[in-house]
Structure 1
Amino acid sequence: MRLSVLLLMFFLLSGGRLLSQTPSLSENSQISLLTCAAGDELYSMFGHTAFRVQDSVLGIDVVYNYGTFDFNRPNFYSNFVKGRLIYSLSRRSFDRFLFEYELEKRWVREQILDLSLEEKNQLLNFFETNYLPENRDYLYDPLLNNCSSITGNILKDQFGDALVFDGSHLDQQYTFRQLVRQNMDLNSWASFGIDVAFGSVVDRKATVQEHMFLPYYAMQQIRNTTKDGKPLLKRERTILDYAEITPSGFFPLSPLFWFALLLLFTAIVTYLDHKHGTRSRWLDFTLFLLTGLIGTFLLILWLATDHTSTPWNYNILWALPANLGTAYVFVFPQHLPAWFAKYLWTAISFLALMIILWVFNVQIFSPVLIPLLLTLAIRYGYLLKFTKS
């Protein structure tokens, strides 16, 4: 017993040193994939995936977790915006890892992999090499390189063509946008913000392996993966058994409620403007300023960051970056400039083009946008009529 404890302490405290110090696993060892339920917070809303290495002979029970990030890392938030967020591989005891999920009452399931002793040691050597300080950091990508998708990459890199990801269990191959929406309430600010930030590049179908960027799909995929023609999954068990957390939204706080309210408000103000032959400059200034700010931010995400999911974002067809500069027209009481009518026709044409792109699935937009699009169309149409009068 004392020897096992000493071996475990040595194993935990010597991480990041020489590969030659990595212990050789015994026949009693096993390597498994842990899948953890989704949580309440945005960063945990899609669940989590990690590797577990156990050996009762050596007294080893540790988790290799590729989902570790540090808010205190220099330039964390600026790197997040730029698409250069760094995640790390961490290693901790299984008990400490499990404590967090027990505290949050999130289920944890374990899938033990059917591997030979040589293959187990191969994976352990890989994890230990990857855990070295110079190797543990990696460039995070929420869709292509996260804590879940990296598990499929590791298994494929380690076992090559012997490993086959069978996709017959999938009802269909979904796009990245569809996959993200499956885990979120469509009428939530988080879902709306992600939908608007995503460009048309996420509307392509994900490959069978790419579905594994979501932990639940990674768990399903392990059940449908073979190595050397035999099932990779040896045994599956539930470690923590809690009910699935289902987020409950409050409609009056949802984006659809507020956009519908804005549409109603704009329709009333526009009717009163038409009746009195005036224009509410404060409303137009606000609409142009906000859409211009959103459009400018989306353009920056598209052109000036390393995000792989934000290029070719046609949301800028309603959130026109040029609206930011055009908003000054409404600050002063003089007549609208002559060029403004052409600008309004362009803005209306862009709204029509956006609908065409939506119909032909070039980019799928959030349905929550519909009241906002109607709001802009009403106001653009009225201003166009006002310029003529």
Structure 2
Amino acid sequence: MRSLLKKLLLIYPFIYPIIFTSYAQDYQVSLLTCDPGEELYSAFGHSAIRVLDKESGQDLVFNYGTFDFNTPFFYVKFTQRTLDYMLSVSTYDSFLYSYHAAQRGVREQVLDLNQSQARDLVQFLQINYLPENRFYRYDFFYDNCATRIRDAFELILGRNLDWNEQRDSERKTFRNLIDEYVYPLPWADFGIDLALGAVIDVNATEREKQFLPDYMEAAFARAKIVGDGPTRPLVKSDHVVLEFEDQEYNMDFFNPYIVWWLLAIGVMVLTFFGSKKGRLYKGFDIAFFSILGLLGILIIGLWFFTFHPQTKYNWNILWAFPGHLIMAIALLRNSVKPWLKKYFLIALIMANLALLCWIFGVQSFHPSIIPLLLVVILRSNFLYYNWEKLGRMSKINV
């Protein structure tokens, strides 16, 4: 996919004049839906618009999912949501070539637009492709390669477009919808659930589900054109353009579920022997709570210092808290400060509050954090009740 995007950027100067030299009146407009890829950036699939000029034979694909890898401070802007995406254009053949090389399926839905509607849509895309219009501020849920297409058809067709939404459709939160696509990538799934806050734990409407290409494809299949002669389906015909065998999914042994449970079991054994032998093994606590503190700083950064609305109100902060880093640094010192005992109690309470937030539906956490919460609760409790031993030892054997 990345190589495709880079190629598209290189051919802008050649495609731009072609688009605006066609004055044909007979267009065939299609929605292209592409299967998910193996990498996180392609895990949710892709959507694009195909415009075939039947008179000239010009066959182009309009793609709202392009961004420039050469943008200065690319990763900083991507993290802060200040990176602009753009509308790009390629030939239909080159578009298919890239997806064939990536072994990703492509399906086409030919739309039953009248020629006036088709011309209006093509004009809209041409105007969008002007240099001053082609860039937009990407939002994964509300303004992406799929929703831009949905919004374009709603604008062009207006009241003539009836989404014919299912009233008995399954209710799903935005997080549920994401989980359907990232389960083959367990560490990415863990990272997404760690980074995104409670704001995505609300039910998505049928229209909002169209931020995912597969759901938009299904919505187009249900939709109808009304008030323009006899009511007719939006999709006139559909067919598979590229098809490949589904890859068998086997979860690797090295995944957060197994790794964190092995960690939790190891900590239980460590704590048991520590209580028997009168040793605290605070070296583990220094390392463990330092990592949690750093994660907390990341959560705070995403919450307050980026423009991503989906990273707000992230209650993972209750167990991955920045203050844990200060506590870990304090444990490094030979003289233990009295405030640490109170902090252990606070850490214990916050971890339990995280569990309550999960139980009562305030925010859905990744299932693999259960062993991490158990470790926080166990070690905070252990250090709290062994405070006297920690305080009187000028140097603890780690």
- Could you say whether these structures have the same fold, taking a TM-score greater than 0.5 normalized by the shorter chain as the test? yes
**CA-to-aligned-CA distance 1:339-389 (integer Å, 9 cap, x gap):** 222111111111121111111111011111011111111111110111145
Do the aligned residues in 1 keep the contact of 2:32 with 2:109 (CA within 8 Å)?
A: yes
Q: How many residues align?
A: 374
Question: What amino acid is aligned across from residue 314 of structure 2 in structure 1?
Answer: N
Aligned residue number for residue 22 of structure 2: 23
Structure 2 counterpart of 1:3: none
In structure 1, what is the Cα distance between the partners aligned to 2:184 and 2:387? 38
Matched residue of 1:355: which SS?
helix
Tell me what 2:256 maps to: 255
> 1:170 offset after TM fit, Å?
6.5
- Equivalent residue of 1:267, what SS? helix
How far apart, in 2, do the equivalents of 1:138 and 1:105 lie? 29
Find the counterpart in structure 1 of residue 116 from structure 2. 118
Contact 1:25 1:117 in 2 (8 A): no
Q: In structure 2, which of residues 33, 39, 44 is the aligned counterpart of residue 41 of structure 1? A: 39
What letter matches 1:345 in structure 2?
L
Q: Does the residue aligned with 2:181 lie in a helix, a strand or coil? A: coil
How much does 1:227 deviate? 2.0
Look up the SS of the partner of 2:182 in the other structure. Answer: coil
C-alpha change, 1:247 and 1:148, in structure 2 (3 Å) is farther
TM-fit CA distance, 1:169: 7.5
3-state SS of the aligned residue for 2:166? coil
TM-score by length of 2: 0.90
- Give the drift of 1:162: 2.1
| Cα offset, 1:230, TM superposition | 2.8
Q: CA deviation at 1:287?
A: 1.2
Distance in 2, matches of 1:192 and 1:165, equals: 34
The alignment-based identity, stated in percent, is: 36
Partner SS, residue 310 of structure 2: coil
Q: CA deviation at 1:273?
A: 1.6
- Report the TM-score when normalising by structure 1: 0.92
* CA spacing shift, 1:298–1:273, aligned 2, 3 Å: same
Cα distance change of structure 1 residues 164 and 245 upon mapping to structure 2, 3 Å threshold: farther
Q: State whether residues 184 and 251 of structure 2, in contact with CA within 8 Å, keep that contact through their aligned partners in structure 1.
A: no
Distance 1:56 1:187, change over 3 A: closer
CA gap 1:148/1:244 in 2 versus in 1, 3 angstroms:
farther
1:16–1:133 CA contact under 8 A, matched in 2: no
Question: What is residue 165 of structure 1 aligned with on the other side?
Answer: 163
- Name the residue aligned to 1:78: 76
**Equivalence map 1:38-117=2 (5 Å):** 38-117=36-115
1:281 Cα deviation from its structure 2 partner: 2.1
1:17-73 per-residue CA deviation (whole Å, 9 max, x = no partner) reads 9x9x4533333x310000011111111111110000002311110000011122211
Letter in structure 1 aligned against 2:350? F
1:300 corresponding residue in structure 2: 301
Counterpart position of 1:291: 292
Q: 1:135 to 1:113 in 2, by over 3 A?
A: same
Q: Is the 8 A contact 1:293 1:321 kept in 2?
A: yes
Residues 186, 178 of structure 1: alpha-carbon distance in 2 compared, 3 angstrom cutoff: farther
CA distance in 2, matches of 1:153, 1:116: 18
Structure 2 distance, partners of 1:259, 1:95, is 46
| Helix, strand or coil at the partner of 1:285 | helix
CA contact (8 A) 1:106 1:243 kept: no
Query: 1:8 aligns to what?
Result: none
Q: Equivalent of 1:232, from 226, 231, 234? A: 234
Q: What is the CA–CA distance in structure 2 between the aligned matches of 1:133 and 1:206, rounded to whole Å?
A: 33
Secondary structure at the residue paired with 1:182? helix
Q: What secondary structure, in the 3-state scheme, does the structure 2 residue paired with 1:242 have?
A: coil
Per mean C-alpha deviation after superposition, the further-off stretch among 350-359 and 213-222 is 350-359
Counterpart contact for 1:301–1:307, Cα < 8 Å: yes
